[in-house]
């Protein structure tokens, strides 16, 4: 019995052990939540997420346009012997009165936990970023400035003296090219020894008197950071809220009294005074560190950006990009790659499995008409994967060049007609990447009207990247006119829905259309393929399980005869109204799990000759407009109230059937055969 102990555990002892394990887990999580923060902050589109990925060794998606990061990315990392929570925050231009997406970033900056701040600055846009720097210097926190994208300085005709910049700011400066991993090791090294630096800014006398009067209320060790007083002077409500959360009502009232007394005594507009002080300081810093500046040439790659947003040439460029995507994704991906993979890999594999699996039930479940492999895994990996990989490659190319921002500006002229102005155009365009993230990104919008219209249009007729890739693949096997008809109908429907909603929803204030215009960049090929790889892996992780679930549901429905009951219930709609084969109902079921899963079944039906060109058009329109996928539905419920979400989803479902039926009737009236 040496080395072996037999233990009899009773239920009470087991329960105590389970409770202790649960308690230890909670305590460990609580302990992690108390770890100091490393906040990566900066203006939108300066490379924050890329630096986060390098430091955390993660791969959050990046792109060359603003507001890529809508929700926070975070992870725990070790610096020296200490554990920190590294947080990639949403873009923010300034601490006073930030946009809605910047408010969460500001809340983290003023969080009571110990923290280090890494401000990422796009080197070519130093002056624009220094406004945030001026405010961060007032926090009395360890601050590191990362001067990113240094490789673009030459293109802008600029050289920056980082040593002088460091002396001017009083904080360390690290030059990086994050996409190439240059300078990242220096960031890691300096974090372990970073200390609080004294604010080097020289304020006007009136500002110094203001600080002195406000600080006199608090003991030396108990006063708020200087930045709170600055926000208070700029009449930002956040300052009063922060003070009320950290001090008693008597102290807060005294602060307000001192502020009023100061204003009455000096008769000064402190908000304007602080803004002028910041502007003058920024100008002096820029003049001392920018060694050379020339006008950017108008005849390089930037000319493409100008043409892309031109009111005439921009539309021709957009049509050209759609045509190239059609050829690459549809003709090469669907017609060549998918066919080759199916003939060379999956057909022989299915034949082998047919000879190996002899039990009829398991044969039907694995490789039957609704088999887990044939309908589930093989469709996801053999059909969707090659197509969507090519589409992701094209999407990433457009993102990294900066084309999408120019497309937003181009289409803004059209979207204004349907009540979508300002930032609401961004989520609409993002919907072609991922409808779920586009829906979540509507939180950046300022009005409820814009938010509701944007969410409705995203859920209605905008196919996400995975669905769009399969739609292109399906229609590429039909006459080119079929592709044009489907795109035209979806566009007209989207515009009509927007116009109607704009009329029936009460008028609300409109936001100004202000968006940072990034330079057109020639993408790094290695990073382009790396980003495509990560997006493809993300698709596999998310889509394959849902394809398998959808296939299993169809298998169970078929085995239990529930499929026939479903077909009987849907026959008046599918067969009589839409003039589609009854097994189109299977595509409708699959699309509930993943939107592109239903489109794959349509592609299989078309390939096997079950659908005419007219039926393909109707089927694609219905499946595109049909109930959004599960993740998008959850996002809709998250952003809207329950009642509004139910109405929106029900309306989209009804519209999909009605429009499909009307298109079917119209095609029959004109005797369209393709």
Give the torsion through C-alpha atoms of 74, 77, 82, 84, to 10 deg.
Answer: -10
Query: Do 127 and 210 belong to one domain?
Result: no
Query: Do 129 and 257 belong to one domain?
Result: no
162, 191, 220: which is the final residue of a domain? Answer: 191
- State both tokens at 200: 């080097």
- State both tokens at 561: 């005869």
* 3-state class (DSSP) for residue 294: coil
CB atoms near residue 583 (< 10 Å) = 14
Phi then psi dihedrals of residue 203, to 5 deg:
-85, 155
- State both tokens at 574: 């599918």
| Chain segment 308-333, per-residue pLDDT in tens | 888 899 899 989 988 898 888 888 98
Range of the domain at 220: 205-272
Q: At what angle do helices 205-215 and 226-233 cross, to 10 degrees?
A: 110
| Chain segment 335-363, per-residue pLDDT in tens | 888 889 988 998 899 989 988 998 999 99
For residue 520, being part of any structural domain is answered with no
Edge-to-edge, what's the strand order for the sheet holding 143-148? 73-79, 82-88, 37-41, 115-122, 143-148, 173-175
The model's pTM: 0.60
Query: Do 329 and 246 belong to one domain?
Result: no
CB atoms near residue 254 (< 10 Å) = 16
127, 161, 191: which is the final residue of a domain? Answer: 191
What is the DSSP pairing of strand 143-148 with strand 173-175?
parallel
Of all helices (H) and strands (E), which one includes residue 126? helix 126-136
For residue 149, being part of any structural domain is answered with yes
Query: Do 502 and 392 belong to one domain?
Result: yes
Query: Do 211 and 339 belong to one domain?
Result: no
Query: Do 84 and 225 belong to one domain?
Result: no
For residue 287, being part of any structural domain is answered with no
The answer to whether 620 and 471 have CB atoms below 8 angstroms apart is yes
For residue 172, what is the domain's CATH number? Answer: 3.40.50.300
Burial of 504 (0-12, 13-18, 19+ CB in 10 A): exposed
Query: Do 81 and 182 belong to one domain?
Result: yes
Q: How big is the CA angle at 499 (ends 634 and 515), to the nearest 5 degrees?
A: 70
List the chain residues with pLDDT less than 50: 1-11, 14-15, 17-18, 21-30, 32, 60-70, 293-299
Q: How many domains does the chain have?
A: 3
3-state SS string over 603-619? HHHHHCCCCCHHHHHHH
Closest CA to 132 of 160, 157, 169, 101: 169
- Which stretches within 505-581 are classed as H helix? 525-559, 562-571
For residue 136, being part of any structural domain is answered with yes
Query: Do 171 and 245 belong to one domain?
Result: no
For residue 16, being part of any structural domain is answered with no
* pLDDT reported for residue 71: 59
For residue 461, being part of any structural domain is answered with yes
- State both tokens at 418: 């349907």
253: which DSSP letter? H
Query: Do 209 and 174 belong to one domain?
Result: no
Query: Do 397 and 421 belong to one domain?
Result: yes
Query: Do 354 and 394 belong to one domain?
Result: yes
* pLDDT reported for residue 579: 94
249, 272, 295: which is the final residue of a domain? Answer: 272
The answer to whether 636 and 647 have CB atoms below 8 angstroms apart is no
- State both tokens at 56: 């955390």
């Amino acid at each position: 019995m040496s080395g072996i102990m037999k233990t009899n555990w009773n239920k009470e002892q087991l329960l105590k052990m389970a409770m202790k394990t649960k308690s230890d887990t909670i305590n460990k999580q609580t302990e992690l939540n108390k770890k100091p923060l490393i906040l990566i902050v900066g203006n939108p589109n300066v490379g924050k997420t890329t630096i986060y990925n390098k430091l955390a060794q993660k791969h959050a998606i990046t792109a060359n346009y603003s507001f890529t990061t809508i929700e926070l990315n975070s992870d725990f990392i070790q610096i020296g012997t200490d554990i920190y929570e590294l947080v990639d925050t949403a873009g923010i231009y300034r601490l006073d009165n930030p946009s809605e997406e910047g408010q969460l970033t500001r809340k983290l900056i003023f969080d009571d936990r110990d923290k280090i701040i890494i401000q990422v600055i796009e080197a070519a846009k130093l002056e624009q970023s220094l406004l945030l720097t001026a405010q961060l210097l007032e926090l009395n926190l360890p601050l590191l400035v990362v001067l990113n994208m240094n490789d673009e300085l030459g293109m802008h005709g600029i050289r920056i003296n980082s040593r002088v910049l460091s002396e001017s700011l009083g904080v360390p400066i690290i030059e990086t090219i994050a996409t190439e991993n240059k300078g990242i090791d220096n960031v890691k090294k300096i974090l372990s020894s970073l200390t609080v630096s004294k604010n080097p800014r020289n304020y006007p006398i009136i500002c110094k008197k203001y600080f002195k009067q406000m600080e006199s209320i608090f003991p030396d060790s108990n006063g708020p950071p200087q930045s709170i007083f600055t926000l208070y002077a700029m009449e930002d409500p956040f300052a009063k809220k922060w003070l009320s959360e950290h001090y008693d009502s008597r102290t807060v009232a005294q602060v307000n009294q001192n502020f009023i007394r100061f204003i009455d005594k000096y008769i000064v507009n402190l908000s304007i005074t602080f803004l002028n002080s910041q502007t003058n300081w920024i100008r002096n810093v820029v003049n001392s560190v920018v060694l050379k500046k020339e006008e950017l040439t108008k005849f390089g790659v930037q000319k493409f950006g100008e043409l892309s947003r031109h009111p005439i040439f921009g539309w021709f460029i957009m049509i050209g990009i759609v045509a190239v995507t059609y050829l690459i994704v549809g003709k090469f991906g669907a017609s060549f790659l998918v066919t080759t993979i199916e003939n060379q890999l999956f057909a022989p594999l299915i034949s082998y499995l047919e000879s190996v699996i002899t039990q009829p039930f398991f044969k039907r479940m694995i490789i039957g008409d609704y088999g887990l492999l044939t309908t589930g895994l093989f469709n996801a990996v053999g059909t969707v994967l090659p197509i969507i990989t090519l589409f992701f490659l094209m999407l990433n190319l457009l993102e990294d060049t900066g084309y999408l921002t120019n497309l937003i500006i181009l289409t803004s002229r059209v979207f204004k007609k349907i009540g979508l102005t300002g930032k609401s155009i961004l989520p609409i365009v993002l919907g072609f990447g991922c409808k779920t993230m586009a829906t979540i990104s509507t939180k950046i919008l300022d009005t409820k009207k814009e938010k509701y219209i944007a969410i409705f249009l995203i859920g209605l007729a905008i196919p996400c990247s995975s669905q769009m890739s399969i739609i292109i693949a399906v229609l590429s096997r039909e006459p080119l006119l079929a592709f044009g008809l489907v795109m035209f109908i979806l566009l007209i429907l989207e515009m009509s829905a927007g116009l109607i909603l704009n009329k029936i929803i009460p008028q609300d204030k409109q936001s100004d259309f202000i968006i940072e215009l990034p330079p057109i960049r020639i993408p790094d090929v290695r990073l382009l393929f790396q980003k495509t790889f990560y997006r493809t892996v993300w698709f596999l992780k998310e889509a394959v399980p849902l394809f398998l679930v959808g296939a299993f549901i169809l298998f169970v429905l078929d085995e239990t005869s529930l499929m026939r009951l479903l077909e009987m219930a849907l026959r008046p709609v599918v067969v009589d109204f839409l003039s589609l084969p009854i097994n189109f109902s299977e595509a409708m079921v699959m699309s509930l799990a993943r939107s592109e899963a239903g489109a794959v079944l349509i592609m299989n039906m078309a390939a096997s000759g079950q659908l005419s060109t007219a039926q393909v058009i109707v089927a694609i329109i219905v499946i595109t407009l049909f109930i959004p996928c599960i993740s998008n539905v959850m996002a809709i419920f998250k952003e809207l109230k329950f009642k509004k979400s139910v109405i929106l989803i029900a309306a989209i479902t009804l519209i999909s059937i009605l429009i499909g039926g009307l298109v079917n009737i119209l095609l029959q009236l004109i005797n369209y055969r393709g």
